[in-house]
Structure formats: structure tokens, C-alpha cells
């Protein structure tokens, strides 16, 4: 979108557009998270790929995904707190 097009949008339209973009970014981030988590945990836990996972592989994948999500949330919360502190300083 060029500068002239964005100037012709009302405040409501700009707000709606920004909300749509935020939602699309959130979906893309969630998809990337799931893909990376699945790839890493599969590589770590599944040593003999077959038609199904045995119980130890299932447990390993579940624990790996839990740890991955814990680490992701820790990084996300730390980053969000840092951004908030930076904004408060301005």
C-alpha cells in the first residue's frame, strides 16, 4: 500500500487493517512455532520411523513439546517485559 492509499483510509479502516495484519502475523507465528517444535521433537524422539509411535516415543514427544513451549513462553514473556520497559522509558 502506498502513502496516498493509506492517507485515503479512515481511522476505522486503518484500525481494521492493522487488526487483520496482527491476526495474520499471529497465525504465521503459531504455524512456525508448531512446525519447528514438531521437527525438533520428531528428530530428537523418533529413532525408527514407522507407521506409529511406541509408548516411549510418545512420552518423549509429549515431554519435548512441553519443554519447547515452556522455553518459548519464557523467551516471549522476557521479550515482552523488555519491550514494555523500553516503552515506559520514552
DSSP 11-41: HHHHHHHHHHHHHHHHHHHHHHHHHHHHHHH
Q: What is the pTM of this model?
A: 0.68
DSSP code per residue over 25-89: HHHHHHHHHHHHHHHHHHHHH-SS--SS--HHHHHHHHHHHHHHHHHHHHHHHHHHHHHHHHHHH
| Whole-angstrom distance, CA of residue 57 vs CA of residue 65 | 12
15-31: per-residue pLDDT in tens?
A: 999 999 999 999 999 99
Poorest-pLDDT segment among 10-19, 28-37, 70-79: 10-19
Amino acid at each position: 500500500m502506498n502513502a496516498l492509499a493509506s492517507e485515503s483510509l479512515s481511522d476505522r479502516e486503518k484500525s481494521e487493517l492493522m487488526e487483520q495484519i496482527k491476526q495474520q502475523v499471529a497465525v504465521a507465528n503459531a504455524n512456525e512455532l508448531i512446525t519447528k517444535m514438531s521437527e525438533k521433537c520428531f528428530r530428537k524422539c523418533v529413532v525408527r520411523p514407522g507407521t506409529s509411535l511406541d509408548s516411549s516415543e510418545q512420552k518423549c514427544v509429549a515431554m519435548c513439546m512441553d519443554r519447547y513451549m515452556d522455553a518459548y513462553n519464557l523467551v516471549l514473556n522476557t521479550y515482552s517485559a523488555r519491550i514494555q520497559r523500553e516503552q515506559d522509558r520514552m
